[in-house]
């Protein structure tokens, strides 16, 4: 029944599949017909004016559709989403169709002016903004209510008719990217611009941050090695190391803002205007009038949400924190038991046994983090936040607090209650290394192995011996639709955040932490790259101008680390020996130094500009131009009088 | 020679003088002719299209001109400067001439749609934006160079041809304002909206802040009184007072942001777009190309400026700080001498003598602050900053650092080196009260008295017994042009800032400080109002959306006060007595409490939203509307295809 409509170019051969829509099996014909009609319908009629084609499978009809768009449609879409591209004079400007000739590499027949990721982003945006007109419900599904202005795709998703929408991989491009990214053994930077073209800004920025952070840790690691090799335990050397670390961690976080500005200026996202935020897909409520837009849409009382947050979520989080502390105390019992065992039968085996409790604890921490993550997601989604950003903030806050306590509580306890530096060092090392190994395994290698096994079975079933490149589009879609979905950079940043904690909080006790972090991050780059290219479906590109709330999280961690390091240094026997008469003077000196360091940190953060001078100039230039243009308009109008 | 041109309305009677221009005596005829011609010339010819009239004085020609503008011209100017006014539906929108009918109270014959202060601001903006075309110099003054785009008025000012530009008072309005502001003895709020209409947003916001701050201090003062009356010295009461103060000061600063948003939303400045900043009048350099605007204008190497800042200004400031500390040591010698004297001859006179050093020191501090202020202004202007904002930031930083040390160094020394709480209390009280009396006297009462005497002499010379209302425009101009110029809110905010320091830094030692601060502020409101209405020329209105860098300064002070108060409480004998065995525990507890308080402060600052919910909603609504309008445009364009 469904055929491919087209609107601007009618030549069938022009159709390039960009995005895949999978509908549930057994979706009613009338629904499919209505939905595809809306997708291809003209903008003037409230459609998305895209191209759609059903995918013909060997084994009969599956409800899978390929979506594309004409070149002109994509250019107009680029204007709608506010894409920023480079002009012929190397400045970055918001793309408009009328000024298209001024942009670099633009030509009417150059279909590569927009990258494939950008085209897919535009199609996703257009699909999500396909809104109900007068429909009261989705045809064929009376329980799936609609109201004017409701996003059709979001309603289809929440009512289960639409299984998934995902962008297609470009096998050619992916192969090139894989090769330049991790295909050959080489020392050098990642191809961030290529990653951005293929996966979008959010993911490219994560890899940029990961790379930058690894480089930034190298000085710490290099300085840390002699401490381990020569077993330096002098007071002055430790103080120097800790002071360096504290100032260094401030500097790297400030410099990252500048590098981030350089990257996102080049990618155009620094200049991109924020779009008006629509309610998130899962948001529900009774129909009412939105006071901001004046439209009829579901509203949910803020009071009810507050009640859910403070009466359910908060107690639950506290309970989880308590449970985490309880598990910690069990760990200390185990630790004591292992120590006793070692004392009773001193052997190689028993000294190995000393590490077992820490390893078990590290595994338990990882498991608890993951379970808690699910609970936090469930709770935050139950809190029914209207906006995705508010949902994300509440989720991140919940997860960060628990992860911080879960990972570091035992270390704080060892350091500031037990005062056992030897145990602290051992525990820190075991936790850090175990969690890194577990993460690498669970996040990349295991999924990679599963995916590979699945692919092999799939190919066998299809009885084809073709290589990836020769796969037909149907086979490619069939393979990709079964791949896992990449759930965003949250877990990756969280891992880095905890690593930063291990490295900085107790850096003066275990200088080797930075070395392990660097080693881990180098393999992390490769395993994350593998994960993106091989394991998961291609994610939609998401324009972003910075790493958002993670910047704040890292900065908070570096403030806390000033406090912990100062206390640790103050507690060391070498420093203690410097104040033989009065412990009072010692404590006062430590407190003074801590305040000085904190003051220096804040002043440094204030003094170092967030954007490099040349980016500032370019932004000022753009602002000046737009103000001038406005003035010209006013002047032209005044002259008419 | 010069007559009044007009452009849109030719009716002479329509001319309402708004702004006065005073040229130097003996200015060449050709210069006057050229300048007035440029002012009245059409926009299309690069003129300002304003009205100008020479002021005919009884005692012959003085080079004084009155500037006005037609009603239409002012409306167009309001669009140019981006004024935000209230619409008929109570929302605030940027005024445009084409949408004028939608604004509240707009009618073509309603000449009060724009307030007089707004009209004067528009005229000032238009005069300052009167730019040279092809003139290489000011006609008649070959040494006063011009280049295309240079502001003519600024060049005339820097070369001394233009003596001053100031807006005229409106005797009627001023009388009404005076009456409602301080004319009758009443308890109640100030007429902030009227002040804003007459003096503009910057000044109204200062009075708003002064009033708010006074109200905010009342709880502190009320709680502080019983401490004095009953001479409470219990540990727990002090801790409670200090803790309350610390949290309270955070709350009041956060709440101020919200109140400020409410005020400036109502006044329209919250929504006003920032104008592109032109070089400040005093900026000089060799002609070059500005990389941002691409125009030829003076440029000054950033390196040279940095050298001046770090090699001259910084050492000078350090020297001044050293000198201030030196003076402080002399004060302590004096204090010692007074104490010895009191011990030798105990009498009423000698016990009075105990206060003399503090009073002398307070006077010296005030004098040093004022002298330093001039030096700082000279130095900062010599640093040759391109933008007014950068000049202001450097000036404020210089002045704040010195004032802070100059005022509080002795108190810190007494508290944390001498550990003399009795002297601290006495010194704090003397400094606070003396500086408040001096300030009130030097800032308002003395100028008021001088102005009054001058006015009386003037009137006598004019041999007229007319009241203010009956003065002719010539007499009014003649009187106002000799009045002092109000130099902005800097000194007023600085005074409040130092007062905040006296109140909060050592609040737990001297709870009565808040009482004096409240009393001072109540009279300060009246004396500042007197100063604005009676002593100074009317200042030009300046739109502003917040109190700028002062918010940061006050917040920093409140962070410092957490530290000082915690230390003071830790040092009190009552707290000392709680830890009889271990001073160590005492210090650790104090440090812990301090960190907790700081953490709570930062969390509170983070959690309390900067704008009230309804303002947020209104802003979101405006943003939504402008995005919708943009989308409509794009859609309309796409439909044409």
pLDDT in tens, A230-242: 877 666 777 778 8
**Mean pLDDT, rounded, for B161-166:** 92
CA of B552: which chain A residue's CA is closest? A606
One DSSP character per residue, B443-457 reads IIIHHHHHHHHHHHH
Contact residues on chain A for B400, CB-CB shorter than 8 A: none
Whether the CB of A621 is below 8 Å from some CB of chain B: the reply is: yes
Residue B638 has pLDDT above 70, yes or no: no
CA of A625: which chain B residue's CA is closest? B293
Residue B468 has pLDDT above 60, yes or no: no
- Residue B141: its H or E element: strand B141-145
Q: Are residues B200 and B296 in the same domain?
A: yes
pLDDT band of residue B187 (cuts 50, 70, 90) is low
Contact residues on chain B for A635, CB-CB shorter than 8 A: 43
> B617, A44: Cβ pair inside 8 Å?
no
Q: How far is A533 from chain B (nearest CA, A)?
A: 36
Residue pointed to by tokens 């107690």:
A315
- Report if residue B320 sits inside a domain: no
Length of chain A: 641
C-alpha distances out from residue A538 to A380, B339, B571, Å: 26, 82, 63
- Report if residue A319 sits inside a domain: no
Contact residues on chain B for A48, CB-CB shorter than 8 A: none
CA of B632: which chain A residue's CA is closest? A80
Per residue in B363-374, pLDDT (tens digit) is 999 999 999 999
Q: Phi and psi of A299, rounded to 5°? A: -125, 150
**Mean pLDDT, rounded, for A306-319:** 94
Residue A290: what pLDDT? 83
> A627, B584: Cβ pair inside 8 Å?
no
- Residue A403: its H or E element: helix A388-413
Q: Are residues B110 and B184 in the same domain?
A: no
Q: Are residues B396 and B501 in the same domain?
A: yes
Question: What's chain B's average pLDDT?
Answer: 85
Q: Are residues B209 and B114 in the same domain?
A: no
Per residue in A175-229, pLDDT (tens digit) is 899 888 887 766 678 899 999 999 999 999 999 999 999 999 999 889 888 887 8
Residue A258 has pLDDT above 90, yes or no: yes
Residue A387 has pLDDT above 80, yes or no: yes
Whether the CB of B76 is below 8 Å from some CB of chain A: the reply is: yes
Which residues, 6 or more positions from B463, have their beta carbon under 8 angstroms from its beta carbon? none
Spell out the SS3 assignment of A249-263: HHHHHHHHHHHHHHH
Contact residues on chain B for A621, CB-CB shorter than 8 A: 291-294
Q: Are residues B259 and B129 in the same domain?
A: no
Q: Are residues B545 and B632 in the same domain?
A: no
Spell out the SS3 assignment of A536-573: ECCCCCCCCCCCCHHHHHHHHHHHHHHHHHHHHHHHCH
Contact residues on chain B for A641, CB-CB shorter than 8 A: 8, 72, 76
Encoding tokens for residue B224? Answer: 């502080």
Residue A370 has pLDDT above 50, yes or no: yes
- Report if residue A358 sits inside a domain: no
Residue B242: what pLDDT? 80
Q: Best of A50, A624, A628, A639 to disrupt the B interface by mutation (most B CBs within 10 Å)?
A: A624
Helices (H), ranges, B298-387 = 302-307, 314-344, 348-353, 356-382
Residue A639: what pLDDT? 63
Contact residues on chain A for B72, CB-CB shorter than 8 A: 641
Cα–Cα dist B566/A475, whole Å: 70
- Report if residue A24 sits inside a domain: yes
Whether the CB of B629 is below 8 Å from some CB of chain A: the reply is: no
> Number of A:B CB contacts under 8 A?
69
- pLDDT-wise least confident of A385-394, B84-93, B218-227, B631-640: B631-640
> A43, B638: Cβ pair inside 8 Å?
yes
Per residue in B101-116, pLDDT (tens digit) is 889 888 888 888 998 8
Looking at this predicted complex, what is its ipTM? 0.82
- Nearest Cβ partner of B624 from A98, A293, A638? A293
> A641, B583: Cβ pair inside 8 Å?
no
Of A372, A496, A512, the C-alpha closest to A443 is A496
Residue B262: what pLDDT? 94
> A293, B587: Cβ pair inside 8 Å?
no
Of A18, A25, A26, A24, the C-alpha closest to A162 is A24
Encoding tokens for residue B423? Answer: 């002297």
Of B357, B374, B370, B361, the C-alpha closest to B409 is B361
> A76, B638: Cβ pair inside 8 Å?
yes
Query: CB of B86 within 8 A of CB of B103?
Result: yes
Whether the CB of A291 is below 8 Å from some CB of chain B: the reply is: yes
Q: Are residues A119 and A268 in the same domain?
A: no
Length of chain B: 641
Whether the CB of A592 is below 8 Å from some CB of chain B: the reply is: no
- Nearest Cβ partner of B639 from A44, A291, A624? A44
Q: Are residues A579 and A471 in the same domain?
A: yes
Q: How far is A57 from chain B (nearest CA, A)?
A: 36
Residue B351 has pLDDT above 90, yes or no: no
Cα–Cα dist A376/A399, whole Å: 7
> A634, B291: Cβ pair inside 8 Å?
no
Q: How far is A292 from chain B (nearest CA, A)?
A: 5
Residue A468: what pLDDT? 52
Contact residues on chain B for A638, CB-CB shorter than 8 A: 43, 76
Contact residues on chain B for A291, CB-CB shorter than 8 A: 617, 621
Q: Phi and psi of B453, rounded to 5°? A: -60, -40
> B639, A591: Cβ pair inside 8 Å?
no
Encoding tokens for residue A25? Answer: 């099996």
Cα–Cα dist B540/B165, whole Å: 9
Cα–Cα dist A132/A146, whole Å: 7
Q: Which of B149, B168, B187 is the last residue of a domain?
A: B168
Whether the CB of B603 is below 8 Å from some CB of chain A: the reply is: no
Per residue in B487-521, pLDDT (tens digit) is 888 989 999 999 999 988 887 788 888 899 999 99
> B624, A595: Cβ pair inside 8 Å?
no
- pLDDT-wise least confident of A422-436, B317-331, B580-594: B580-594
Q: Phi and psi of B61, rounded to 5°? A: -75, 120
- Nearest Cβ partner of A43 from B275, B292, B635? B635
pLDDT band of residue B5 (cuts 50, 70, 90) is very low
Residue A10: what pLDDT? 40
Per residue in B280-324, pLDDT (tens digit) is 877 888 888 888 888 778 888 889 999 999 999 999 999 999 999
What is the number of other CB atoms lying within 10 angstroms of the CB of residue B599? 12
> B-contacting residues of A 133-192, CB under 8 Å?
none
Q: What count of Cα atoms within 13 Å lies in the side-chain half-sphere of residue A473?
A: 16
Residue B167 has pLDDT above 90, yes or no: yes
**Mean pLDDT, rounded, for A315-342:** 93
Q: Are residues B276 and B148 in the same domain?
A: no
- pLDDT-wise least confident of A178-187, A239-248, A369-378, B416-425: A178-187
- Report if residue B107 sits inside a domain: yes
Cα–Cα dist B330/B609, whole Å: 47
The domain of A524 spans 179-300+384-610
Which residues, 6 or more positions from B283, have their beta carbon under 8 angstroms from its beta carbon? B298, B300, B384, B385, B386
Encoding tokens for residue A475? Answer: 């086979």
- Report if residue A309 sits inside a domain: no
Whether the CB of A43 is below 8 Å from some CB of chain B: the reply is: yes
**Mean pLDDT, rounded, for A573-593:** 82
Q: Are residues A281 and A426 in the same domain?
A: yes
Q: How many domains does chain B have?
A: 3
Q: How far is B579 from chain A (nearest CA, A)?
A: 13
Of B509, B514, B500, the C-alpha closest to B567 is B509
Residue B11: what pLDDT? 43
Q: Which of A111, A145, A168 is the last residue of a domain?
A: A168
Give the E-state strand segments of B11-117 in sequence order.
19-23, 51-57, 60-68, 84-86, 92-94
Query: CB of B180 within 8 A of CB of B191?
Result: yes
Residue A11: what pLDDT? 43
pLDDT band of residue A635 (cuts 50, 70, 90) is low
Residue B497: what pLDDT? 94
Residue B398 has pLDDT above 90, yes or no: yes
- Residue A368: its H or E element: helix A356-382
Q: Are residues B524 and B433 in the same domain?
A: yes
Residue B411: what pLDDT? 92
- Report if residue B322 sits inside a domain: no
- Report if residue B372 sits inside a domain: no
Whether the CB of B588 is below 8 Å from some CB of chain A: the reply is: yes
Whether the CB of A641 is below 8 Å from some CB of chain B: the reply is: yes
Residue B470: what pLDDT? 57
**Mean pLDDT, rounded, for B26-44:** 89
Encoding tokens for residue A130? Answer: 């396909």
Contact residues on chain A for B44, CB-CB shorter than 8 A: 639
Q: Are residues B485 and B394 in the same domain?
A: yes
> B584, A588: Cβ pair inside 8 Å?
no
C-alpha distances out from residue B223 to B93, B514, B601, Å: 44, 9, 21
């Amino acid at each position: 029944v469904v055929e491919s409509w087209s609107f601007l170019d009618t030549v069938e051969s022009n159709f390039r599949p960009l995005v895949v829509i999978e509908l549930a099996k057994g979706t009613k014909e009338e629904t499919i017909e209505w939905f595809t009609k809306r997708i291809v319908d003209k903008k003037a009629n409230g459609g998305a004016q895209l191209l759609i084609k059903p995918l013909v499978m060997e084994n009969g009809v599956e409800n899978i559709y390929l979506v594309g768009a004409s070149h002109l449609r994509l250019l107009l879409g680029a204007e709608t989403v506010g894409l920023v591209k480079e002009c012929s004079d190397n400045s970055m400007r918001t793309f408009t169709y009328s000024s298209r000739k001024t942009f670099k590499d633009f030509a009417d027949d150059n279909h590569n002016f927009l990258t494939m990721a950008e085209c897919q982003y535009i199609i996703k945006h257009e699909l999500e903004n396909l809104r109900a007109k007068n429909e009261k419900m989705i045809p064929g599904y009376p329980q799936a209510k609609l109201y004017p202005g409701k996003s059709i795709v979001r309603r289809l998703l929440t009512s289960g008719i639409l299984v998934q929408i995902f962008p297609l991989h470009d096998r050619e491009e992916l192969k090139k990217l894989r090769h330049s990214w991790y295909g050959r053994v080489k020392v050098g930077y990642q191809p961030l611009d290529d990653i951005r073209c293929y996966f979008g800004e959010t993911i490219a920025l994560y890899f940029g941050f990961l790379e930058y952070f690894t480089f930034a840790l190298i000085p710490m690691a290099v300085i840390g090695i002699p401490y381990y090799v020569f077993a330096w335990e002098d007071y002055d050397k430790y103080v120097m190391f800790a002071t360096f670390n504290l100032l260094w961690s401030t500097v790297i976080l400030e410099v990252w803002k500048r590098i981030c500005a350089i990257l996102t200026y080049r990618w155009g996202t620094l200049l991109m205007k924020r779009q008006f935020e629509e309610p998130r897909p899962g948001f529900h409520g009774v129909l009412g009038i939105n006071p901001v837009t004046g439209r009829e849409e579901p509203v949910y009382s803020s009071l009810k949400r507050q009640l859910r947050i403070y009466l359910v979520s908060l107690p639950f989080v506290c309970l989880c924190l308590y449970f985490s502390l309880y598990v910690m105390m069990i760990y200390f019992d185990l630790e004591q038991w292992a120590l006793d065992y070692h004392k009773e039968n001193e052997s190689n085996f028993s000294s190995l046994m000393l590490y077992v409790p820490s390893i078990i604890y590290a595994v338990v921490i990882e498991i608890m983090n993951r379970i808690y993550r699910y609970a936090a997601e469930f709770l935050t989604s139950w809190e029914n936040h209207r906006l995705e950003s508010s949902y994300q903030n509440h989720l991140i806050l919940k997860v960060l607090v628990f992860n911080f306590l879960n990972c570091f509580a035992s270390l704080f306890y060892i350091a500031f209650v037990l005062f056992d530096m030897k145990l602290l060092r051992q525990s820190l090392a075991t936790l850090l290394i175990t969690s890194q190994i577990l993460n690498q395994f669970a996040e990349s290698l295991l999924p990679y192995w599963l995916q590979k096994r699945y692919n092999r079975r799939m190919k066998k079933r299809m009885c084809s011996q073709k290589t990836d490149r020769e796969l037909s589009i149907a086979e490619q879609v069939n393979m990709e639709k079964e791949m896992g979905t990449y759930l965003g950079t949250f877990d990756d940043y969280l891992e880095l955040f905890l690593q930063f904690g291990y490295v900085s909080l107790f850096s003066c006790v275990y200088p080797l932490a930075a070395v392990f972090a660097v080693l881990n991050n180098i393999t992390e780059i490769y395993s994350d790259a593998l994960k993106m290219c091989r394991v998961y479906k291609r994610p939609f590109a998401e324009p972003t101008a910075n790493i958002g709330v993670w910047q704040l999280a890292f900065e908070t961690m570096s403030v806390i680390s000033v406090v912990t390091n100062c206390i640790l240094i103050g507690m060391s026997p070498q420093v203690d020996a410097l104040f033989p008469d009065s412990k009072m003077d010692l404590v006062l000196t430590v407190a003074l130094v801590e305040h000085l360091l904190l003051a220096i940190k804040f002043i440094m953060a204030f003094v170092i500009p967030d954007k490099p001078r040349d980016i500032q100039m370019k932004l000022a230039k753009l602002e000046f131009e737009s103000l001038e243009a406005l003035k010209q308009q006013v002047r032209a109008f005044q002259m008419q009088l």
